[in-house]
Copies of this chain bind each other. A is one copy, B any other.
């Protein structure tokens, strides 16, 4: 059901493509923030919108038919560049740069700004859920075998302030096709949201 595209790209090719498209996404991420926060007058906004429409037309003149997908290079490098949480070409992505320690613990320090707001000045509870789903899923897949969320529960301890944040997740046990993980999001004053989830080895990876 899920098609991972295999591409014959060298590491140098990947670096070259990254060098072209990553800076663009960074600029667009700033634009998303500025679009929410600007108090520019009507005339300025009309002119800016005209420039953006022109930019869209130029980018669309040659584009993929559908979503970016997940491309796996012949050397085994995985390019989920469109991914909603970690995609370097996705200006929507909070762009978690996760680390894994020797015990399989996955963590990331990250920053959430105006685009991730729910209650005034605070992270949307759904954004916290999105991030925890992703980070627990990574912890479930530390052996590089993808596992997909079966169930996940979020417990909101208190509101999470927009700004610098930290997340961490770890496997707690494995039972056949099920991998159990827990994790949290924390701000400077401590944990704000906790999560626990069961992740499932997909059928096409069992027995292999």
* Chain A contact residues, CB within 8 Å of chain B: 1-5, 20-21, 23-25, 27-28, 30-32, 34-42, 44-45, 47-49, 51-56, 58-64, 66-70, 81-85, 87, 89-92, 113-122, 124-127, 129-134, 137, 146, 148-156, 159, 162
Contacts and interface: CB of A to CB of B under 8 A. Distances in A.
Contacts of A116: 84, 92
Given A4-B120, A20-B42, A118-B84, A68 B37 contact: yes
B67 A162 contact: yes
A113 B205 CA distance: 27
A93 B58 CA distance: 24
B60 A113 contact: no
Given A70-B119, A152-B153, A154-B149, A32 B90 contact: yes
B37 A48 contact: no
A152 B132 CA distance: 12
A66 B31 contact: no
Given A82-B114, A90-B115, 12 more contacts: A5-B120, A24-B49, A28-B31, A31-B59, A32-B90, A36-B81, A37-B59, A37-B63, A38-B59, A51-B51, A66-B121, A127-B130
Contact of A34 (B38, B56, B69, B137): B56
A154 to B, nearest CB: 5
A51 B62 contact: no
A133 B118 CA distance: 11
B130 A68 contact: no
A21 B55 CA distance: 18
Contacts of A2: 119-122, 159
